[in-house]
Structures are given as structure tokens and as C-alpha cells.
Amino acid sequence: MKIVALERKNLGNDIDFTRFGKFGEFTEYEKTGIEQIYERSKDAQVLIINKLPMNESTLGALNRLRLICVTATGTDNVDLNYCKAHQIAVCNAKGYSTDSVVQHTFAMFFYLMEHLPYYDQYTKSGNYVKSETFTHFDRYFMELAHKTWGIVGMGDIGKKVAAAAKAFGCEVIYYSTSGNNQFDGAERVEWDALLERSDVISIHAPLNERTRNLFDLQAFKKMKSSAYLVNVGRGPIVNESDLCKALKDQLIAGAALDVLSQEPMREDNPLFEVIDQENLLITPHIAWATTEARNRLTDEVYKNIESYLNGGTYGRLC
């Protein structure tokens, strides 16, 4: 059995991959270009991948391949129909990042809403040493208790965010993009009501035809000018050009983004126009990536391979 990991760097060098050698000959590469897939994978029965496209173009000549393990939950980059037709099993990983994403959601929100960069710099610059009073509050911030937290995407992550928001004393409401989601722990509302009532909106939804550009200029105009947006779902759910205008025109109080329409961020991203503003926080797709979450993810991949070799279907999508 030959196992090849093509995108080792995407999981971090602090995570141990050596255990995959238990299953056979194991080779890992820090990163792999599309043009390198065939040469590195031509003898492999198992591929461990993350973002690389897995379709007829990249898989067509890999005659020995029997299993693809995706180190993520989403599999938009994998042609499942092609894999099924060619008897290539595909596995993904679920549930490994829930606690990590919930934690990052609130970390981003509080960092932005409480103007922590400003106050940190105020103190470290020496201005606090010169202060005539024991306190300084030139940037005002709100108390989360008794505010309304709106959620788009009431899956496992959304439900844990709802529970945490309630612990802070929030009223929690949510919008179902499919119209089918039911959750007894919060009030389900229509789209306009979510926008108009929420003091904070966090996005935990998948990207599909219903969610792409869901947050556009019309949506921002319906939000409170004091409201904050947190996107830890998928970048294209937020129209970045419209968000740029909303921040410039102060239609909303601020936005915290862990995901963007193009990753890595491109030089022509419109958000660079407001990148220095205090009301915008961007992190490089790290909400999922605590050390514990990445170890859990590797555990899931290990179980996927072990199950496949034993004739099981753990983690199988096709």
C-alpha cells in the first residue's frame, strides 16, 4: 500500500503524520501544484489531499488510486460522480473544528467590538503613562448582554455559537437559508427580520446558490448601523465590494472575516481599500485551526484509511 499526502503544509508542521506509515509506504509533500499531481501520485493507492482539484483531468491517469482522503469537511474540489464511476472511494472529516470555530467567532467579535487594537496601542505607545486619569475610553463599546445575536447556518457550529451567545445573555435568532432548518434553541426568523433585529450576525453556512452574495449592499442597508458581521463560513457569502462600501459609509459598525472570496487574498481584493480602518478585522482562514482541531482532523483521516482497509465505510462519501 502506497499512501501520498500532497498538501502537508495546509495542516501545519506541528502535526504528526508519521503514523500513516503503519499502513504501508508513506510519502508526504509540503505543497503540490496541479501539474505535479500525476508524477507524485501515479503509484499511490491512497491520496491525502486538502484543496487540490480531484477530477477527470487530475485523476484520469491514476490507475492504481483507490481512496482519496480529504482533510476537510467540504469536498467542492472533488468530482464525486467521477470518483464513484471509477470506483475511487472518497472520505472527508467532520466535527473536528466545531469548538475551534466557535472560539474564534467570539475572539474576532470581541477584538473588533471592544476596539482592543486601539486600546492596546494606546497603552503601549506611552500615552497611558502620560494620562491624568486612571482610565481612557475614546472608543466606545457595547455590552453583549441583552443584545440580539443572529445566526446564518444553524448546524453544529451555529448551535454551539447560539449556546455561547445565550451564556453572555443574548437573545438568539436565526435564518434558515434552505427553509428547512428547525432548531428549538432559538427563534427562527425571516431574512429581513434577521438583518433588522440583530446586533451581531455570525455566518456558519455552506456556500451554495442560496448563500452566494447573500450579504450584499441591500442587506447591509437593512442592518443596524451599530451591528457587527462575523463571517467564519465561506467567503463568497459576503459580497466584498458591497462590504467595502458598507464600511466606508458606516452602514454597519464593523466586520470580522476569517474567509474571503479568493484565498490566499488577492492584491485586487476591494477590501484593501478599507484595510487600515478600525472597523475591519481579517484573519487568514484560521478559525478551524487550533492545535487540538488539527490533531482531531488527522485522527479522522487515520480512521478513514483504517476503516477502508478493513472493508468499512467510516467517513465515506462515495
C-alpha 51/C-alpha 76 separation (Å) is 9
The packing angle between helices 98-113 and 156-167, to 10°, is: 50
DSSP conformation class of 265: P
Q: Closest Cα to residue 150, out of 173, 118, 177?
A: 173
C-alpha 120/C-alpha 110 separation (Å) is 13
10 Å Cβ neighbour count for 204?
28
37 phi and psi, to 5 degrees? -60, -50
202 phi and psi, to 5 degrees? -115, 140
Please state the separation of Cα 224 from the chain's center in Å: 25
Please say whether the beta carbons of 257 and 235 come within 8 A: yes
Residue with cell 491514476: 62
Catalytic residues: 234, 263, 285
Pairing of strands 67-70, 46-49: parallel
Buried residues in 189-202 as b, exposed as e (16+ CB within 10 A): beeeebbebbbbbb
